[in-house]
Chains A and B, each alone.
Chain A
């Protein structure tokens, strides 16, 4: 078992910069996740750590050892990818034991030791009773556990997992997630995990690194990433429906500062937020502008006026779920959504009153482009 450290790592493919001066440290035993959209540099980071690629600049450490010049097979890492199909002709036992029998590891373990290893991991994953079965005799969830067992049967210094449960359907994913987290804690292993799925990142990780176009945007505990995002980019990376980002103008009104977007989207800002917003707004065409953010659960909707801070908007679309409703409004540059904790229906075009819970309001510099 060991930790991982990247020091000022840059990776270029010709003129394309895939990673730009990335530094982070994942201590021994931590579940550390790289979260970002596709093309952000997540998989490149894993490949550099595994030694499949060599960084253009910077240093990579596994434990105390600088590994830049050490070939992949001597780095003691296990890497599992999104798609790891099982061998249909092998039993569950043979599938799980497969990595232990690689030619390079021949003679490392006696067959009794091998059996012990396989038993340990399959017991932890609850598939010990199926060792003699072939993959086609298993359910989807069981197969997925077998894959996971195979990825984790070795005891390397670090595990590198690239979207290991991305291909599972939503239901299996929920159970696989908790299984993986339980396993990681039981074994006390170091895991570097890559995903674009924010639920996996928040649910599984001790810490999360949010990455965008090869640049680290934020490193923090899941709570910090969700509740105190460092940028509009990070804010939008976590949460479903995604956080509402709206570019607004600030105007002086009778009762202090007003937030003004398109049409009726207008409300007086609570006084205690004035100093926060003045620290982050900027001048544009003689007006003060900023970007506000509010997550959909903190947008209230009512057929009647709620307060002086509420405003009227026409419903663009209303989508019911079993115990909630997502109501969408159309603004000039973006959609604006509310997540209600009840199952109700609003007709498209219907006018409703909207109110934002200002204790949950964020202010950002504009770094991401807003699109509908």
Chain B
């Protein structure tokens, strides 16, 4: 049981490489928080500072509202599982998982019960007697995860704990991690580059890029109200389409389509000061409406690729010298090199400042 709070923390390596820049956030007690971002965004450095494995260059880290900057990892009551496993090679899987419990002086019988239950949850029962060297990468990672989860720590820190598992196992283990978190009373911070994982697991997601927090929110906030172009493009797959346009009025933008200007409406007021200025127009592939016939609000685009995916088709279309992706229902029959007219419902159109890339509408108040 713990809250974790970062107050303006920085990580600066070698005096001038800024890995984490002025990061502040708070994880409530028993919350499941994901830190999501591409490689090199500072998410692992942040986690390592929370774990006490790295010094904090500037700022304060608090557990339960007490500063812990000076505490060593062992005095923070945290459990860790990292992408690379750090298992004890001479010990069996059983002994590796039970190790932290043994160290805490728990009774053998209780240890046995806990280890076996955890092994069952993480599909390790059959390999309990083996040494780590005899396991696949995915299995070793599960042992590492089991060892962290078995302890009931106040803070659980997981850094890409599923990266080496194959897809099927990953989906199963993901569901179990969340279940185990719900049964324990721990606060979990989970670092990943995989948005599907973050979205599936977390109560709250912290999106990072270039050492800076871009946005903190629930899945729906990040998806429906991205604070900037980075978040808009990062969350959701296939990625949001970004098109160049100009603001015509507070509720209308124009897209260049050959020689013509195509108007798209938006359902919120764009700030007055942006009229006649260049903006980036964002629309998600699943919100692109594809029409077989011309319409006033449709930009003409040519189908380049059609990808069948069972329940949907993804179209890649060329539009000017850029591309637009559209997800269409399976009964929408379409051929390569066919022309389509694409539009977007006013409620689905995002607008970003062309210079700062910050959202101009659809902001979470």
A binds B: yes
- A residues sitting closer than 8 Å to B (CB atoms) are 169-171, 174-175, 177-178, 181-182, 185, 197, 199, 202-204, 222-223, 226, 238-242, 297, 317, 319-323, 326, 328, 343, 348, 372
In the complex the two chains form, is A203's CB within 8 Å of B178's CB? Answer: no
CB-defined contacts of B304 to chain A, threshold 8 Å: 178, 182
Residue of A nearest to B311 (CB): A297
Contacts of A323 in B (CB 8 A): 223, 286
- B89 interfacial contact with A, CB 8 Å: no
The reply to whether A182 and B311 contact each other, CB–CB distance below 8 Å, is no
> Within 8 Å of chain A (Cβ to Cβ): is B338?
no
Judge whether B236 is part of the interface by a CB distance below 8 angstroms. Answer: yes
A203 CA to B315 CA, complexed, in Å: 10
Closest B residue to A203 by beta carbon equals: B307
Distance (whole angstroms) from the CB of A201 to the closest CB of chain B: 10
**Given known contacts A178-B325, A181-B307, A317-B179, what 7 new A-B pairs fall within 8 Å (CB)?**
A171-B239, A182-B305, A202-B309, A241-B171, A320-B200, A320-B219, A323-B223
When each residue 307-333 of chain B gets 1 if its CB lies under 8 Å from chain A and 0 otherwise, what string results? 111110010100000000100000000
10 A-B pairs closest in CB distance: A203-B307, A322-B223, A178-B316, A226-B310, A178-B305, A319-B200, A174-B238, A317-B175, A222-B308, A181-B305
Kindly list chain A residues whose C-beta atoms are within 8 Å of the C-beta of B334.
none
CB contacts (< 8 Å) of A242 on chain B: these are: 168
B196's contact among A177, A202, A321, by CB below 8 Å, is which?
A321
Q: Which of A169, A204, A297, A372 contacts B307 (CB 8 A)?
A: A204
Q: How far is the CB of B75 from chain A (nearest CB, A)?
A: 34
Answer whether A343 and B336 are a contact pair too, CB < 8 Å, given A169-B193, A178-B304, A182-B316: no
Which residues in A have their C-beta under 8 angstroms from that of B239? 171, 174
* Interface contact A320-B316, CB-CB below 8 Å: no
Picked from A169, A181, A238, A343, the residue with its CB within 8 Å of the CB of B310 is A238
Determine the distance from Cα of A241 to Cα of B171 in the docked complex, in whole angstroms: 9
Is the C-beta of B189 less than 8 angstroms from some C-beta in chain A? no
A170 to B194, CA, bound (A): 8
In the bound assembly, the distance between CA atoms of A93 and B132 in angstroms comes to 44
Residues of B within 8 A of A204 (CB): 307
Q: Which residue of A lies closest to B304 (CB)?
A: A182
Beta-carbon contact of A199 and B309 below 8 Å: yes
CB distance from B232 to the nearest CB of A (A): 12
Any A CB within 8 A of the CB of B50 = no
Kindly identify, within residues 139 to 184 of chain B, every residue whose CB is under 8 Å from any CB belonging to chain A.
Answer: 167-168, 171-172, 174-175, 178-179, 182
- B54 in the interface (beta carbon within 8 A): no
How many residues of chain B get a CB closer than 8 Å to chain A's CBs? 38
B220 within 8 A of A: yes
Inter-chain contact A322/B194, CB cutoff 8 Å: no
Whether B220 pairs with A343 at a CB distance below 8 angstroms is yes
> B357 within 8 Å of A by Cβ?
no
Inter-subunit contact A322/B220 (CB<8 Å)? yes
The verdict on B112 contacting chain A, using a C-beta distance below 8 Å, is no
Find chain B residues with CB under 8 A from A171 CB. Answer: 234, 237, 239
Q: Is A322 a contact partner of B308 (Cβ separation < 8 A)? A: no
Nearest to B235 among chain A residues (CB) is A322
Least Cβ–Cβ distance between A317 and chain B, in angstroms: 5
Return chain B residues, CB-CB under 8 Å to A197: 167
CB-CB under 8 A from A177, the residues of chain B are: 307
A239 proximity list for chain B (CB < 8 A):
310
Give residues 268-290 of B contacting A (CB, 8 Å).
286
Asked if B199 lies at the interface with its beta carbon under 8 angstroms from chain A, I say yes
List A contacts of B193 (CB < 8 A).
169
Complex alpha-carbon distance, A169 and B160, angstroms = 13
Q: Cα distance A372–B235 when bound, in Å?
A: 30
B168 proximity list for chain A (CB < 8 A): 242
For A178, A222, A317, which residue has the most chain B Cβ atoms within 10 angstroms? A178
Residue of chain B at shortest CB distance from A371: B123
Interface centre among B178, B182, B309 (most CB of A within 10 A): B309
- The listed residue (A223, A240, A319, A322) touching B236 by CB distance below 8 A is A322
Q: Is the CB of B179 within 8 A of A348?
A: yes
Q: What is the CB-to-nearest-CB distance from B60 to chain A, in angstroms, rounded to a whole number?
A: 33
Assess whether A322 is in contact with B310, with CB atoms less than 8 Å apart.
no
8 contacts between A and B (CB under 8 A): A169-B194, A170-B195, A178-B325, A226-B308, A319-B174, A319-B178, A322-B220, A322-B235
Distance of B288 from chain A, by nearest CB (Å): 15
**B residues within 8 A CB of A203?**
307-309, 314
What are the residues of chain B within 8 A of A241 when measuring CB–CB? 171
Q: Are A178 and B314 in contact (CB under 8 A)?
A: yes
Interface members, chain B 188-229 (any A CB < 8 Å): 193-196, 199-201, 219-220, 222-223
Assess A202 versus B199: contact at CB under 8 Å? Given A317-B178, A328-B175. no
